[in-house]
Structure 1
Amino acid sequence: MKKLINDPRAVVGEMLEGLVSLHPGLALLEGEAVVMRSDLPADPAARQVAVLSGGGSGHEPAHAGYVGPGMLHAAVAGDVFTSPSTDSVLAAIRAVAGPAGALLVVKNYTGDRLNFGLAAELARSEGIPTEIVIVSDDVSLRDTVEPSRRRGIAGTVLVHKVAGAASASGASLAQVAREAAAAASALGTMGVGLGACTVPAAGRPGFTLGEDEMELGLGIHGEQGVRRVPLQPANVLTDTLLSAIVDDQRLGAGDRVVLLINGLGGTPAQELAIIARRALAFLRERGITVERAWSGEFLTALEMPGCSLSLMKVDDERLHRLDAATSAPAWPGSGRFAPARRIAPARPVAHASDATESRPADMEPVHQALLAIADAFDAAETRLTELDGAAGDGDLGISLVRGAAAIRALPPSSWTSPSRALMALSEALRRAIGGSSGPFYATALLRASRRLADHPQPDARAWAEAFQAGVEAVAELGGAGPGDRTMIDALRPAADIFFRELQAGGTPAEAWAEALLAAERGAEATARMKPRLGRASYLGERALGLPDAGAEAVVVWLRALSRFIR
């Protein structure tokens, strides 16, 4: 188990101390794992209806992150995935409630129902009016248990917001409870897990999944889902989750909803945005109006990879509650978004040779040579990905595959002359290849294109000069030289030896064979070089043992050109 903790037994207390230290609007209740507002009136008679929630820890930012004006007055934390005690809940009620009473928003788990329920009963016996609203939004259990026994999961956060806003408006306990209960009944959530999480006290994952499996319909306590299914693309998965909610909640054209895209703790914002993209499209296709949408981590399961989607049906009054101001640290904001995806028009770039022209016969070998490079990039993807992943970010293989696709997509106007072909290739690779390789190749090709501008039918010497010019451009742009463990270690000897062998009277094919051999030796030598530039330089001697991926990529395309050099 690798976690940034001190002692598994101290996780909850230290976590709450850190949270409260970061937010001046929060306070810790002495002797209890309770976070409460620090701005409550000293006179209990001046207080609004207190809204409280809580449960086991491990769901951060829930529940303490939703404590603040306009949301919760207090949150009660238990141990990781363990209900807080009755005494802790009662202590929280006593600390924040006044004559206006308290509403407890409780997720539908046995431990939470028992401990919050008993605390409510004890609070009533002390003269504190107390009501409970149970949230059971997990639609994955619709074929397993009756609705009242479903679990409460991420949609609970929306109930917190509705109840907190109702309290902040000055509503009575009965009214706050009524609005919260109505919001809970208009709510459905469905989750999916791509892997397990590790409870600190357990020290090992709760279950294991194959690389091509996922758990559909899981809760928030690291447990398995309702069923294990094959891994699905994001669009298909989003449709699966939303279809279950829409069917369960009987949503259809004309209905108004808000959407919550919740990461379970180990899902990047990038992936949640991809889910959000499809979710909004799915709902629009069905005529369901999405009034507000939020994406992020709201109620997690430690570091579990996966997400859940929640839909809450709204009317103007409920939407007003969701729009009401709050300063709770974890509430993400208004949730407003553009009614349609905005796409700004790009400024067109005109080229003198953009008109479609037929390809001259002498350009056919150039065209075929570049297509051979594209095929070579495709074939080398796995190897280049492995090498780049060992010392970099692992994207070189897929980047060059995108470059291969860009080569094949070059329009007929690209093939009017060698100079124009290199210029078009520079533009295409600049757009297609990410990371550092894109700018390097684009710059080299641009410089080489200019060198060939006065050679409509360049001979071998002109090509050699263009090759050297391109390599020099790469060196200038990146600041690398031989011995720095970069693509230059393959490029520089290849370009220099090709030019030198031609000068010595060798045929182009002979010169190119020597150039290729020099590039291969240069790339091989990088395995023994300590990197000085790029991401690999951060690894120091740990990068030794494998050749540089960029240098190997140079060998790939040089080798592909061999049969075209005559």
Structure 2
Amino acid sequence: MKKLVNGPRAVVGEMLEGLVSLSPGQALLEGESVVVRADTPAEVHQREVAIISGGGSGHEPAHAGYVGVGMLHAAVAGDVFTSPSPDAVLAAIRAVSGPAGALLVVKNYTGDRLNFGLAAELARAEGIPTEIVVVADDVSLRDTVEPSRRRGIAGTILVHKVAGAASASGAPLAEVARQAAATAAELGSMGVGLGPCTVPAAGRPGFSLGAEEIELGLGIHGEQGVRRVPLQPADALVDTLLETILEDRRIGSGDRVALLVNGLGGTPPMELAIVTRRALAVLRERGVLVERAWSGSFLTALEMPGCSLTLLKVDDERLRWLDAATAAPAWPGNGRLAPARQRRPVPPAPAPVTATAEQPGMARFKEAVLAVADALDAAESVLTELDSAAGDGDLGISLARGAAALRALPESSWANPLRALMAMGEALRRSVGGSSGPFYATALLRAARHLTDATPDPKAWAGAFLAGVEAVAELGGARPGDRTMLDALQPAADAFARALEAGQSLANAWEACVLAAERGVEATARMKPRLGRASYLGERVLGVPDAGAAAVVVWLKPLFRYVAQ
């Protein structure tokens, strides 16, 4: 087990210390795993209806992240995935409630219901009015258990928000409880897990999944789901989750809802955004009016990869509670949506230069460029492997995209060398990702500026080559010896220019150019990188040639038979 913990027994206490230290509006209850609002009045008669929630730890930012003005007054944390004791819950009730009473928001798990329920009885015996609202929003269990026995999952956060806002408005306990219960009754949630999580005390995953398997309808405690199915694209999974929620909650065209896209702890914002995109699209297609939507990790299951979707029916009153201000550190904001498909037009590019007649030799020039494109395609796997050793492994596919863009250039691009180089630079700028696109585009554009519409002679081409290499050095700030593409480019351009100056034939000059580049690539295997991602790895990349330098040789070589004739 690899986790940033000091020991399983210390996890909860040390976590709460860290969370509260970053939240000026919160405080820890001495001797208890309870987070309370720091502004709780000392005089109990001044206290509003206290909203208290909690459960096992491992669901962060729930529940401590929702303690703040306008949401929870206290959160009670048990051990990881373990309900807190009734004594801890009672301590929280005593710490933040008074004659106005307390509302306990409880997720529908046996341990939580028992411990929070017993604490409520003890509080009532002490004269503190106490009510309980149970959240059972997991619709994946619709065919397994009766509605009252469903699990409480991520929709609980929305109940916190409504109850907290109602309390902050000054409403009495009965009204706060009514609003919270009505909200819980209109919730529907369902989750999907792409893998398990590991409870620190257990030290091993709660279940295992094949590489192409996922769990549909799982809870928030690292347990398996309702059924195991093959891995599917994000859109298909969203469709499945939403279909179940919409059917169970009887949500259809014209209904108003709030949407919560919740990560389970191991899902990056990128994937949650993809899920959100599809969920909004499906709901709009069905005529469902999405009034508010949030995407993020709100109630998690440690590091589990996956997500859940929640829909809550809303009306104007419920929207006012959701929109009410809160200082809870984990509340994601107002949830207002941008207009559907909000897009703006791209500013137009300058008008293209009027086409001129094709210069002699440009058909062969185009053939040479297409030969380069073929060579880049053939080298994709080799370049990917080299780049993976010291970078992010995307060079092969990036240059393959560049090759496709070169092939797609219109015939007007091949009128003369100047026009061709500029068009190639534009194509690579748009198609090649990472650093390679800007480097090659800049080199080609700079080289084009050194040519005229007249047919260039070999020395003019050599000057253009050197100018392009200089542009790469300027743009990236590298120099030969830094283990970059310049370690192949610079010696190649220098060798080509020197050979021509010495009166060698064009074929011999290009042969010297390619040989110098190959030697440069070999030398990079012995260089400690100074720039780029490889520099983070230091000596670990020694023995492997630089991928960017190797790519230079890939496209130089096929040019030989066109240059030599």
**TM-score over 0.5 for the alignment?**
yes
Asked whether the 8 Å contact 1:354–1:413 carries over to 2, the reply is no
Give the partner amino acid of 1:226: V
Asked whether the 8 Å contact 2:401–2:432 carries over to 1, the reply is yes
Query: What aligned pairs does 1:79-228 form with structure 2 within 5 A after superposition?
Result: 79-228=79-228
SS of aligned partner of 1:2: coil
State the distance in 2 between where 1:369 and 1:318 align. Answer: 67
Aligned-residue offset at 1:97: 1.5
SS of aligned partner of 1:39: coil
State the distance in 1 between where 2:222 and 2:357 align. Answer: 63
Query: What aligned pairs does 1:555-566 form with structure 2 within 5 A after superposition?
Result: 555-565=553-563, 566=565
Aligned-residue offset at 1:35: 0.4
Corresponding residue for 1:515? 513
Aligned-residue offset at 1:454: 4.1
Asked whether the 8 Å contact 1:212–1:230 carries over to 2, the reply is yes
Give the partner amino acid of 2:362: M
Query: What aligned pairs does 1:163-562 form with structure 2 within 5 A after superposition?
Result: 163-353=163-353, 362-455=361-454, 457-562=455-560
Aligned-residue offset at 1:555: 1.9
Corresponding residue for 2:75? 75
Corresponding residue for 1:18? 18
Aligned-residue offset at 1:507: 4.4
SS of aligned partner of 1:19: helix
SS of aligned partner of 1:528: coil
Structure 1 gaps of 5+ residues are none
Post-superposition Cα deviations, 1:305-352, rounded to whole Å, max 9, x if no partner, equal 221111111111111110011101110111112122332222212244
Aligned-residue offset at 1:210: 3.2
Aligned-residue offset at 1:408: 3.0
Give the partner amino acid of 2:367: Q
- Across the aligned residues of Structure 1 and Structure 2, the Cα RMSD in angstroms comes to 2.0
Aligned-residue offset at 1:22: 1.3
Aligned-residue offset at 1:436: 2.0
SS of aligned partner of 1:140: helix
Aligned-residue offset at 1:65: 0.5
Asked whether the 8 Å contact 1:358–1:412 carries over to 2, the reply is no
Asked whether the 8 Å contact 2:417–2:453 carries over to 1, the reply is no
Change (3 A) 1:481 1:78: same
State the distance in 1 between where 2:386 and 2:28 align. Answer: 50
SS of aligned partner of 2:308: strand
Change (3 A) 1:553 1:64: same
Aligned-residue offset at 1:354: 5.9
Aligned-residue offset at 1:532: 1.5
Asked whether the 8 Å contact 2:155–2:187 carries over to 1, the reply is yes
State the distance in 2 between where 1:354 and 1:124 align. Answer: 87
Which piece of structure 1 moves more, 247-256 or 322-331? 247-256
Change (3 A) 1:445 1:130: same
Give the partner amino acid of 1:554: V
Post-superposition Cα deviations, 1:87-146, rounded to whole Å, max 9, x if no partner, equal 111111121111221111111111111111111122222222211111111122222222
Change (3 A) 1:378 1:188: farther
SS of aligned partner of 2:195: coil
Change (3 A) 1:142 1:412: farther
Which piece of structure 1 moves more, 9-18 or 357-366? 357-366
State the distance in 1 between where 2:478 and 2:190 align. Answer: 52
Aligned-residue offset at 1:241: 2.0
SS of aligned partner of 2:295: strand
Which piece of structure 1 moves more, 442-451 or 367-376? 367-376
Change (3 A) 1:107 1:540: same
Change (3 A) 1:372 1:3: same
State the distance in 1 between where 2:409 and 2:371 align. Answer: 14
Asked whether the 8 Å contact 1:34–1:92 carries over to 2, the reply is yes
Change (3 A) 1:435 1:183: same
Aligned-residue offset at 1:505: 5.0
Aligned-residue offset at 1:34: 0.5
Which piece of structure 1 moves more, 531-540 or 282-291? 531-540
SS of aligned partner of 1:307: strand
Post-superposition Cα deviations, 1:400-431, rounded to whole Å, max 9, x if no partner, equal 23323322332333222111111111122222
Give the partner amino acid of 2:284: R
State the distance in 1 between where 2:254 and 2:435 align. Answer: 49
State the distance in 2 between where 1:408 and 1:246 align. Answer: 48
TM-score (norm 2): 0.95
Give the partner amino acid of 1:184: A
- Percent sequence identity is 76
State the distance in 2 between where 1:237 and 1:374 align. Answer: 38
SS of aligned partner of 1:188: strand
Give the partner amino acid of 1:261: V
TM-score (norm 1): 0.95
Equivalent residue pairs, number: 564
Change (3 A) 1:5 1:445: same
State the distance in 2 between where 1:40 and 1:370 align. Answer: 73
State the distance in 1 between where 2:143 and 2:401 align. Answer: 45
Asked whether the 8 Å contact 1:516–1:558 carries over to 2, the reply is yes
Aligned-residue offset at 1:361: 6.8
State the distance in 2 between where 1:528 and 1:146 align. Answer: 68
State the distance in 2 between where 1:407 and 1:436 align. Answer: 18
Change (3 A) 1:251 1:372: farther
State the distance in 2 between where 1:57 and 1:563 align. Answer: 68
Structure 2 gaps of 5+ residues are none
Asked whether the 8 Å contact 2:86–2:116 carries over to 1, the reply is yes
State the distance in 2 between where 1:160 and 1:329 align. Answer: 13
Asked whether the 8 Å contact 1:359–1:412 carries over to 2, the reply is no
State the distance in 2 between where 1:449 and 1:397 align. Answer: 26
Aligned-residue offset at 1:52: 0.7
Aligned-residue offset at 1:531: 0.8
Asked whether the 8 Å contact 2:416–2:453 carries over to 1, the reply is no
Asked whether the 8 Å contact 2:398–2:432 carries over to 1, the reply is yes
Give the partner amino acid of 2:389: A
